[in-house]
Amino acid sequence: MIYEKTEFNCKGKHFNENWYKYIINSNSDGYFNSNGNKKVLFKFRKKMISPDLSNLAINVFLKESKKKHGNRGMASGIPSGRKTARTLTATGQSEGVYSSSNISGYFDRPLREHRGILGTIVACRTTAFTLKNVSLWESGLPFVQRCSKIYKNLAPKEWNLQKKEYKLINEQLKIPKTVFTTVTSNYNWRTACHCDAGDFSGGLGNLIVVGRDFTGGYLGFPEFKVLIKIEPGDFLLMDVHQYHCNTPIIGNGFRLSFVMYIREDSSKCKKLKIIENTKYFV
């Protein structure tokens, strides 16, 4: 089905289920028109991740994903009484609302304390989680690799575009046997309306949900009035550059969601440089 877009300022806002006109709860593909071209909005498939792989993902990523960070910007929402998602701290850092989230794999931005030394914001490195938990990270790769295979089967055109970009990236910055560099995992986080930034624009975001004893957390595109009832074990390909957000998460259990993608500047990182024992490619 082709969905029509009505643009309006939804940034940083939340939308409940009653906002949406189209409720998707079964296998479905959605498209939209962009400058006369038909583009993928989403491709949704139920129960594509086995219980074994879901449990593996929980065992590997749950603990780290519970830690709160203030660097998620608009996705964390705009607090009441403010006009922007970020504010300056006493130390001069720009931070948003703290949210439970983790980034694993490889990243194309330096640590804050190294930006001045490097003289650039494009510097690729291994994330702290992957660097400090090598065996745990490697044990979780079958889950990530399964998602890459599903992506290939569902959207071969976009997968091949992403594969071409993946081939340009240093081997030390790629998740093996996938088309990804990076995995973001979120714990019980209801995101506000936002567009993802910093990921490869030629591909599609891979969204997977695992967990237990909860309802909600559904993925909505407010401008299209489309809501996808993604549940544990489901797989969603989506255009993350369209505004999206989640409905409330209800229950005493937990929802752990994953987004898998390529960081857009990864292919620019070529030259090895070591700053205070942190290895970068710049």
Tokens for 119? 């003289």
pLDDT of residue 161: 97
pTM for the whole structure: 0.93
The arithmetic mean of pLDDT across residues 265-272, rounded, is 96
pLDDT of residue 18: 97
Parallel, antiparallel, or unpaired for β 219-221 and 245-246?
antiparallel
List of domains in the chain:
17-281 (3.60.130.30)
Using a pLDDT cut of 70, give the percent of the chain over it: 93
Q: What b-and-e string marks burial along 34-63, b requiring 16 or more CB atoms within 10 Å of the CB?
A: eeeeeebbbbbbeebbeeebbebbbebbbe
Q: What is the pLDDT of residues 217-250, one digit of tens each?
A: 999 999 999 999 999 999 999 999 999 999 999 9
pLDDT of residue 82: 62
Q: What is the pLDDT of residues 123-178, one digit of tens each?
A: 999 999 999 999 999 999 999 999 999 999 999 999 999 999 999 999 999 999 99
Parallel, antiparallel, or unpaired for β 272-275 and 278-281?
antiparallel
| Residue 75 confidence class, pLDDT cut points 50, 70, 90 | confident
Tokens for 89? 């701290």
pLDDT of residue 266: 98
Residue 281: phi and psi, rounded to 5, are -120, 125
Give strand pairing partners of 228.
24, 219
pLDDT of residue 88: 47
Residue 111: alpha-carbon gap to chain centroid? 20
